[in-house]
Structure 1
Amino acid sequence: MPDLETLPPLRSVHTSNVPEILDHFGISVMVTTYQAGRLVMLRSQNGLLNTHFRSFDKPMGLAVGEHRLAVGAATSIWEFHDLPAVSEKLDAKANAGAEHPVQHDACFLPRATHWTGDIQIHEMAWVGHGADADLWAVNTRFSCLCRRSDRYSFEPIWRPRFIDQYIPADCCHLNGLAMRDGEVRYVTALGETSDAGGWRTNKRDGGILIDMRADEVIARGLSMPHSPRWYRDRLWVLQSGLGEIGYVDAASGGYESVASLPGFTRGLSFVGPLAFIGLSQIRESAVFGGIPIADRELADRVCGVWVVNIESGETVGFVKFEDAVQEIFAVEVLPARYPELVNDDKDLIAGSFELPDAMLADVPPDLHSE
């Protein structure tokens, strides 16, 4: 993991209503920035925005499940479990002599690390329920969807019909996945090609959206699409190259823009009528050069999380990052007001245990919160 001592400071500005929005829905927002090597937690603390971060090696995809989450990094996947009893320890430490005490309602501790190798992991999702859920990931380097395996680096489970072999060549830049009715149903890619790096040839408007069940492309001509989502009976997608959020008619493939934003849109999560959308400033030209959003002046492109009302298309709030953070990948709403994620507190990890219910019944009650 990157050394916090060597990382530049994280600075941000935000509209005053962001903490109120988080409080209203009882949520926090988790954001990954691979460029800055951080997982950022946006939390409301006594009416103010608390921007909290943890270091990872190029964090990308996030998967939020039942009392657990996963973080996809450069060559590994980290799985964390929520241990509610540990929140009491955090409160006791954080509130000692504090003028404004906090109350943690979730604490995610590391449970497993799976080493995948450099598969350029992108979006991820838990498929199934409870302990039997599988973790699926977009394996961009091998142009497929894969499943975490106890034996292999990864287990391929699906690839587009135009990908005829498994080669570590990022042929179509498969990047996003959408769940519908409990199954992975839609994916996005930046090109329809099986050539090594072939997507780069027409990245301006060669993007596609695929219906996995039908095994067919349902929308073409998209500008670097990312983050497909099925929400409120609509298939949402970000046209990153245009800096837009919109939706696609799954039957006709027609695209309808809902809002245009001041950055490369990537990372999308919903609550109520609101969409939380990641924006990247995109400074690097080899990948992003030649797309419409890159034609805007650098000063007109920002990095942050924008809050958009999907019913009106209006921006209702934002958090804008400065200095250290220039690119964002994942944005996920977490149903916890003030969560913590621990990946470097050795003492806390060493003294916290998750046990089977049968065993817990024989542990003295006064030790349950130890």
Structure 2
Amino acid sequence: MTHLDTTDAATQSAAPPEPEPLRSVHTASFPELLRTLGCSLLITTYQAGKLIVARNDGGVLNTHFRAFAKPMGLAANARRFALGTARVVEDYVNMPAVTRRLDPPDRHDACYLPRNSHVTGDIDIHEMDWDADGQLWCVNTRFSCLCTLDRQNSFVPRWRPAFVSALSPEDRCHLNGLGMADGRPRYVTALGEADSPQGWRDNKAAGGVLINVDTGQQVCRGLSMPHSPRWYAERLWVLESGNGSLATVDPDSGRLHTIAQVPGFTRGLDFFGPFAFIGLSQVRESAMFSGLPLTERLKERTCGVWVVDIRNAQVAAFLRFEAAVQEIFAVKVLPGIRFPEILEPTDERIAASYMLPDEALKDVPAERLG
């Protein structure tokens, strides 16, 4: 087993200030849309250190928060979710029987409990998803590769762009987005075709690429900070974050077609029915985000989740954060889950909540079964 040491010198800093209260506003159509679709949302914001649950609560949108260290990548469904944080990938499972012990009774229809933690170290983890075999694939941005996890290693490198010559913790191309198709990784996005430390920064406004993992070929070049490639409804979608847009790409010709522009840096995308749920970030005024089409088009940007009807490219609803949250990374729909809860590791209810293999349940007294 090989170990790689990339430890930086320790630094000291003053205690952080008290966090701002988390405030948001939304259109009346947002909770109504969740009610109609029978779903809820999970949203990550690494800047605020929160995993946000957005759910309909009697016609009002309820935003429920759980604290994590730099939560970014998120793979989620009705049964489980995996969350990539600063140094750890956290695995949570849904145990519906626990909802009977939540307050108020009969309000929740899912309860996610922590199950496993995998220490990756600082790999600047970005998007994640499961393949058809249940293997979690992660975008390892710091090492410019796709990786999986096992019980022994920090991570297992599985693929990297052909233009990246070495496995090194230098964020050479800022690999960030992962799109699955037919149950396996198919598309990735990177902010530049670079092979030097932080080399992607040299042409961030128009150096982005969308890559086919199977062939290694660039499907589309010249993108402005692309993120979140998705194969949905027989079309290839991508967020062109530097342009604040949702677009489709012809996989054969590479032709880009902008579907909708929204008032923020687009990052984080999921679909349900005819709707695209898009994460928006305000974008800080800094050298990192200067010279982008979005910052030139809009002096004021928004943070939240915008819902676009892909049938007509119209905005169907939005959730806007007004304080504390300025950047969104991932947005995931929980289909069939209307009002979920997420228990923190210190919650006392976890001590008496057990998940056993099906074959073991025959030995459990009936009165003990939840």
Q: TM-score range by the shorter chain?
A: over 0.9
How far 1:357 sits from its partner (Å)? 1.2
- Cα distance in 1 for partners of 2:16, 2:76 equals 25
Match of 2:64 among 44, 49, 52: 52
CA contact (8 A) 1:65 1:126 kept: no
The residue aligned with 2:319 is 319
How far 1:297 sits from its partner (Å)? 4.8
CA contact (8 A) 2:78 2:334 kept: no
- Gapped regions of structure 1 (runs ≥ 5): 96-101
The residue aligned with 2:4 is none
- Cα distance in 2 for partners of 1:40, 1:4 equals 21
- RMSD over aligned Cα, in angstroms? 1.6
The residue aligned with 2:284 is 283
The residue aligned with 1:94 is 104
CA contact (8 A) 1:210 1:217 kept: yes
How far 1:6 sits from its partner (Å)? 4.0
CA contact (8 A) 2:236 2:250 kept: yes
How far 1:94 sits from its partner (Å)? 2.0
The residue aligned with 1:111 is 115
Q: C-alpha deviations, 1:235-266, integer Å up to 9, x for none?
A: 00000000000100000000000001100000
Q: C-alpha deviations, 1:191-246, integer Å up to 9, x for none?
A: 00111100000000000000111110010000000000000000000000000001
Counterpart code for 1:222: L
How far 1:324 sits from its partner (Å)? 0.2
Counterpart code for 2:296: D
CA contact (8 A) 2:263 2:298 kept: no
How far 1:290 sits from its partner (Å)? 1.8
The residue aligned with 1:22 is 34
- Cα distance in 1 for partners of 2:312, 2:174 equals 32
- Cα distance in 1 for partners of 2:100, 2:369 equals 11
Instruction: Provide the secondary structure at the position in 2 that maps to 1:118.
Output: coil
Q: TM-score, normalised by structure 2?
A: 0.93
How far 1:47 sits from its partner (Å)? 1.7
Is 273-282 or 120-129 further displaced after alignment? Answer: 120-129
- Cα distance in 2 for partners of 1:304, 1:63 equals 19
The residue aligned with 2:81 is 69
CA contact (8 A) 1:267 1:328 kept: yes
Counterpart code for 2:122: D
- Cα distance in 1 for partners of 2:17, 2:166 equals 43
CA contact (8 A) 2:139 2:146 kept: yes
Q: TM-score, normalised by structure 1?
A: 0.93
The residue aligned with 2:126 is 122
Instruction: Provide the secondary structure at the position in 1 that maps to 2:128.
Output: strand
The residue aligned with 2:349 is 348
- Cα distance in 2 for partners of 1:276, 1:305 equals 7
CA contact (8 A) 1:4 1:55 kept: no
The residue aligned with 1:84 is 96
Matches of residues 1-370 of structure 1 in structure 2 within 5 Å?
6-65=18-77, 67-90=79-102, 93-95=103-105, 103-129=107-133, 133-298=134-299, 300-335=300-335, 336-369=337-370
The residue aligned with 2:12 is none
Q: C-alpha deviations, 1:72-123, integer Å up to 9, x for none?
A: 0011100001111111111xx324xxxxxx5211111000011101100000
Counterpart code for 1:326: Q
Counterpart code for 2:107: Q
CA contact (8 A) 2:75 2:129 kept: yes
- Cα distance in 2 for partners of 1:297, 1:253 equals 27
- Cα distance in 2 for partners of 1:279, 1:138 equals 20
Instruction: Provide the secondary structure at the position in 2 that maps to 1:94.
Output: coil
- Cα distance in 2 for partners of 1:195, 1:30 equals 35
CA contact (8 A) 1:85 1:368 kept: no
Instruction: Provide the secondary structure at the position in 2 that maps to 1:114.
Output: strand
Instruction: Provide the secondary structure at the position in 1 that maps to 2:44.
Output: strand
Counterpart code for 2:184: E
- Cα distance in 1 for partners of 2:195, 2:350 equals 45
- Cα distance in 2 for partners of 1:248, 1:289 equals 26
CA contact (8 A) 2:192 2:203 kept: yes
How far 1:331 sits from its partner (Å)? 0.3
How far 1:342 sits from its partner (Å)? 1.2
Instruction: Provide the secondary structure at the position in 1 that maps to 2:55.
Output: strand
- Cα distance in 1 for partners of 2:154, 2:344 equals 22
How far 1:65 sits from its partner (Å)? 4.4
- Cα distance in 2 for partners of 1:254, 1:297 equals 25
CA contact (8 A) 2:77 2:333 kept: no
Instruction: Provide the secondary structure at the position in 2 that maps to 1:164.
Output: coil
Instruction: Provide the secondary structure at the position in 2 that maps to 1:361.
Output: helix
- Cα distance in 2 for partners of 1:322, 1:368 equals 44
How many pairs are equivalent? 355
Q: 1:43 to 1:66 in 2, by over 3 A?
A: closer
